[in-house]
């Protein structure tokens, strides 16, 4: 899920390049397919204030043009990008990505060059950074609906909470995030 402040966008992990667009109140607008995004289905979306980025479990990130529904650029990375998010706090405030596979996380600049290692994760399928804290939706805990928090600078685990404890969320045994 990502937003540009005008719309929400979600991906459909079983369909290469498939995107759903919604208004900010959650009303469905349309579905479309990103031209040039055909290798795997998109697992995660990110927005840097100008462009959207998509990760699809390979060692690259697509820079997208949502209006024209196409790939603008493919950014090569040193790691698989099952989870991916943009953070303006990385790279000395120049911005970058937190990305990785189920158990890894690295920090890269906007060109995809590795600038550091993040914490080891437990089945991460989505990440976000805010105020120096990395939030990871992890499915590798005893409870498969866990949100863990890590200090970005040190990688130290701060806490894990179960999202299944919230009445609003009623996950099923078959539920999985980002594939």
- DSSP assignment of 57-108: SSSEEEEEETTTTEEEEEEE-SS--SEEEEETTHHHHT-EEEEESSS--EEE
For the beta carbon of residue 76, count every other beta carbon within 10 angstroms. Answer: 11
Looking from the CA of 156 toward its CB, the CA atoms found within 13 Å total 5
Residue 96 burial (10 A CB sphere; 0-12, 13-18, 19+) = buried
Residue 94's pLDDT is what? 94
pTM reported for the whole predicted model: 0.86
Contact 129, 98 (CB under 8 A): yes
Distance (Å, whole) CA 165 – CA 174: 17
3-state SS assignment for residue 163: helix
Distance (Å, whole) CA 111 – CA 106: 14
For tokens 């759903």, name the residue. Answer: 20
For the beta carbon of residue 29, count every other beta carbon within 10 angstroms. Answer: 12
Return the CA Rg of the chain. 16
From first to last of the 179 residues of the chain, give the pLDDT tens digit.
899 999 999 988 788 889 999 999 999 999 999 998 876 788 889 999 999 999 887 888 999 999 999 999 999 998 888 888 899 989 999 999 999 988 889 999 999 999 999 999 988 888 888 888 999 988 877 777 789 999 988 989 999 988 877 756 555 555 555 43
């Amino acid at each position: 899920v990502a937003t540009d402040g005008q719309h929400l966008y979600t991906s459909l992990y079983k369909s290469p390049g498939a995107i759903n667009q919604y208004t900010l109140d959650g009303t469905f607008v349309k579905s479309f397919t990103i031209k040039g995004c055909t290798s795997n289905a998109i697992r995660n979306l990110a927005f840097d204030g100008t462009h959207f980025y998509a990760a699809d479990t390979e060692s690259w990130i697509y820079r997208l043009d949502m209006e024209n529904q196409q790939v603008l650029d493919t950014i090569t990375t040193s790691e698989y990008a099952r989870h991916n998010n943009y953070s303006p706090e990385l790279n000395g405030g120049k911005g970058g990505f937190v990305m990785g596979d189920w158990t890894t996380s690295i920090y890269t600049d906007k060109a995809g060059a590795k600038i550091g290692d993040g914490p080891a994760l437990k089945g991460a399928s989505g990440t976000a950074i805010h105020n120096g804290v990395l939030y990871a939706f992890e499915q590798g805990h005893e409870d498969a609906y866990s949100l863990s928090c890590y200090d970005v600078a040190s990688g130290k685990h701060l806490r894990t909470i179960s999202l299944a404890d919230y009445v609003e969320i009623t996950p099923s045994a078959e539920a999985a995030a980002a594939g």
